[in-house]
């Protein structure tokens, strides 16, 4: 069994660049979004209220990475501001959101207080230390009560709202929309050449020299379909497959095998964040090569005792398409769905 733990065939010299923890020094191919977001947040440096922003785009296009990078830069530039990031899938209620903010800022208070009282404690803290608040709410469409957004704007917070869905806030009350006065920043999927640059940068940080060739990075970029998370996961899995075979170089077969695993992981992770109804609809489509919207909704209603409304059904299907879990062909009335 000699050589079982031999490190001669190691490909990965630093695994962090192949994870979501890694924050590159330069965010490639997001210069326009970076400049626009910076212009919206810049007033806080002068002690003024920043402009509220809505960031949208599918998964793996750099929304959260850019925001994290921007918050770090902002707090390094000025001590006028406190920044907090909240994922609204994990914190869906106003009380959970405000509690998360209070916890992150280490404000001493009773967490069993009502939401209004916690918000008063939070505002008192900001006033006492003369700080402005910039609050990022990721997956904002998961919030159960959008009135909390109105409360935040009335408190003078700068808001960065994030969603995969361009129309996530379409049903928000007009009173709240007016108070938000949102600037909008779109994040499109990366092109193949942009993805190549991103993956090449990660390889340079993560792999031993010569462990992968540029043509293979290009194949990974092609198979990522504009999603950096998928592309990075392809690289990570391909490297592990090569190491399992005691090889020092990644080959094409490793990339192809890794693609299947990466796409399966992405689908599983996204479905894990969705509702039971999303999953039922997805699984029904998976049982058919192709199904019309009318037939899908009719079949869905036969297998559930409390079906969602047709309007909610259309909203959920739009979300599945936006997340690239489902493909759609045809106009709204005669739409066909497939995986």
Chain-centroid distance, C-alpha 118:
28
CA separation for the pair 123, 286 (Å, rounded): 49
Chain-centroid distance, C-alpha 244:
31
Residue 332 pLDDT exceeds 80: no
Residue 5 pLDDT exceeds 80: no
* 137 and 229 share one domain: no
Report the CATH number at residue 105. Answer: 3.40.50.300
* 258 and 287 share one domain: no
* 174 and 256 share one domain: no
* 123 and 244 share one domain: no
Tell me if 196 sits within 8 A of 232, measured CB to CB. no
Domain boundary among 221, 250, 271: 271
pLDDT digits (tens, 9 = 90+) for 142-181: 899 999 999 999 999 999 999 988 988 988 999 999 999 9
* 60 and 161 share one domain: yes
In sign, the C-alpha dihedral spanning 81, 149, 40, 35 is: positive
Would you say residue 99 lies in a domain?
yes
Domain boundary among 236, 255, 271: 271
* 261 and 306 share one domain: no
Confidence bin at 123 (pLDDT 50/70/90): very high
* 45 and 63 share one domain: yes
Expressed as residue numbers, the domain containing 303 is 275-338
pLDDT digits (tens, 9 = 90+) for 64-92: 999 999 999 999 999 999 999 999 988 99
pLDDT of residue 1: 44
Confidence bin at 267 (pLDDT 50/70/90): confident
Q: In the predicted model, what is the mean pLDDT of residues 122-143?
A: 95
CA separation for the pair 3, 337 (Å, rounded): 51
* 66 and 128 share one domain: yes
* 324 and 284 share one domain: yes
Cross-strand bridge partners of residue 82 = 133
- Looking at the chain, how many residues does it have? 339
Would you say residue 8 lies in a domain?
no
pLDDT of residue 20: 86
Report the CATH number at residue 320. Answer: 1.10.10.10
pLDDT digits (tens, 9 = 90+) for 190-200: 999 999 999 99
Would you say residue 4 lies in a domain?
no
Would you say residue 257 lies in a domain?
yes
Report the CATH number at residue 249. Answer: 1.10.8.60
CA separation for the pair 46, 194 (Å, rounded): 35
Overall number of domains in the chain:
3
Would you say residue 20 lies in a domain?
no
Would you say residue 23 lies in a domain?
no
pLDDT of residue 265: 82
Domain boundary among 271, 301, 320: 271
* 177 and 226 share one domain: no
Would you say residue 65 lies in a domain?
yes
* 72 and 135 share one domain: yes
Would you say residue 107 lies in a domain?
yes
Tokens of 309: 């409304």
**Residue that wins the pLDDT comparison between 177 and 324:** 177
Tell me if 153 sits within 8 A of 127, measured CB to CB. no
How are beta strands 327-329 and 336-338 bridged, if at all? antiparallel
* 36 and 180 share one domain: yes
């Amino acid at each position: 069994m000699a050589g079982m733990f031999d490190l001669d065939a190691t490909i990965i010299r630093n695994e962090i660049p192949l994870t979501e923890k890694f924050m590159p020094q330069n965010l490639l191919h997001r210069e326009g979004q970076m400049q626009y977001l910076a212009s919206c947040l810049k007033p806080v440096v002068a002690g003024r209220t920043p402009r509220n922003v809505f960031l949208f785009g599918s998964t793996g296009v750099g929304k959260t990475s850019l925001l994290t990078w921007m918050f770090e830069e902002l707090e390094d530039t000025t001590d006028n501001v406190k920044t907090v990031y909240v994922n609204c899938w994990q914190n869906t209620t106003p009380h959970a959101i405000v509690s998360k903010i209070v916890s992150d800022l280490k404000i001493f208070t009773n967490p069993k207080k009502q939401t209004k009282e916690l918000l008063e404690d939070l505002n008192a803290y900001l006033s006492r230390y003369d700080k402005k608040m910039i609050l990022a709410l990721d997956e904002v469409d998961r919030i159960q009560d959008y009135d909390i957004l109105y409360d935040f704007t009335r408190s003078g917070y700068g808001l960065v709202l994030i969603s995969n869905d361009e129309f996530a806030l379409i049903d928000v009350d007009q009173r709240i929309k007016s108070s938000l006065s949102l600037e909008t920043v779109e994040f499109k999927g990366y092109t193949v050449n942009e993805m190549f640059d991103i993956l090449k940068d990660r390889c340079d940080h993560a792999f031993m020299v010569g462990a992968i060739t540029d043509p293979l990075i290009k194949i990974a970029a092609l198979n990522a379909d504009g999603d950096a998370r998928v592309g990075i996961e392809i690289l990570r899995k391909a490297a592990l497959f090569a190491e399992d075979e005691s090889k020092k170089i990644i080959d094409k077969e490793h990339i192809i095998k890794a693609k299947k695993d990466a796409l399966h992981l992405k689908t599983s992770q996204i479905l894990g964040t969705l509702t039971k109804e999303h999953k039922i609809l997805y699984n029904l489509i998976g049982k058919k090569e192709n199904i019309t919207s009318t037939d899908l909704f009719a079949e869905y209603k036969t297998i559930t005792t409390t079906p969602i409304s047709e309007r909610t059904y259309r909203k959920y299907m739009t979300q599945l398409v936006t997340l690239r879990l489902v493909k759609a062909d045809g106009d709204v009335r005669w739409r066909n769905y497939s995986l």
